[in-house]
Amino acid sequence: MTKIFSIIFLLATFSLSLNAQQTNKGKVSETFMNPLRKGADPFVTKHNGKYYTIFNEKGGFAVTESRYLTKFEKKEVVWTPTEGKWNSYNLWAPEIHHIDGKWYIYYAGSVHKGAPYYAQRAGVLESDSPFGPYEDKGRLYTGDDPDQKKDNCWSIDMTVLELNGKKYAVWSGWETLHDHHDVDQYLYIAEMKNPWTLGKRVLLSKPELDWEKGDNIVLQEGPQILKHNNDVFVIYSTRGSWTEHYKLGQLRLTTGKDPLNPSSWIKSSKPVFQGTSTVHGLGHASMTTSPDDSEYWIYYHSKAALDGGWDNREVYLQRFTFGKDGNPVFGIPKGRGEMKRPSGEVKTEQAEPGSL
């Protein structure tokens, strides 16, 4: 009889253990781990309930698609440059935008590989699908003479602002051409005649405050558009991206004013997001909302270690809010570690067949 009870007990224990394993196997995690991946200059856009990101991979650009901010569901390399072209090398900071029913990738490229980085120019690709095939629409003219197209100027980190039925390009560029790369970088804006043609550029902002200075050059780069209610912001990066001092500043458009007028934009008096004793070189961020649109999240990179220059950077996600004055409140970067997933992600995953 004792043996029978022992067998029954063992069977019951095994059954409970098996059930627990099956339950844990199907359980949806409510957290995610930062960093999300290695890389830099992260960009994310939300379209029809899905997130699209883009980054360098295998000598070209990889695009991802997902219902989740914290993981990819699909990834494909969608474009690689051909040899011997103006954009064959130094592919920097790609962004993917859905404009008037088509998809566009904005990026910087160069005719030669590596340093000196004086040949960087902004380019654009066009497709009917985020995953291509893409048509190379060539270089965008980012100089001072759009009619004659003389002296196309150095430009990187182009993004797109859509406002009141018009579209504007915002980017980081040089005032004049140089044969080296130790040159100050400013933010420029121009109205877009179409996704690959710009009007006359306007100098939008220079690094003039103490917290924007301190390296061998002064710079503003990585401009990103943030909209909230009726407010429009340009969140930009400043200080050297190769240093621990990289940080974010902000321009806020005065409501109802012309975005092509520099005086329409008010610069923050201090950094709006910067590193800590454990988070170094924070910058080049983009912003989006959670799957259910109830939260705002910032997608940024920082250095994995103090040394290493541009090498070994990582991508992070963090929630942010807005203050009573309407400005974004990014808070203090938490860096590595476990965080609660964006609102709506768990519910979406729990609805998948076989998740529970």
Which tokens in the block code for residue 85?
């072209």
Sequence-ordered list of residues with C-beta below 8 angstroms from that of 55, at least 6 positions apart, any chain: 39, 41, 42, 43, 61, 62, 94
CB 287 within 8 A of CB 224: yes
Considering the candidates 95, 157, 212, 221, report the single residue annotated as catalytic: 221
Angle 354-355-356 from CA coordinates, rounded to 5° = 90
What are the Cα distances from residue 57, in Å, to 38, 75, 111, 116, 134? 12, 11, 19, 22, 16
Could you give the CA distance from residue 197 to residue 122 in angstroms, rounded to a whole number?
11
- Among this protein's residues, is 221 annotated catalytic? yes
Could you give the CA distance from residue 136 to residue 138 in angstroms, rounded to a whole number?
5
Could you give the CA distance from residue 109 to residue 21 in angstroms, rounded to a whole number?
51
Catalytically active residues, by annotation: 41, 221
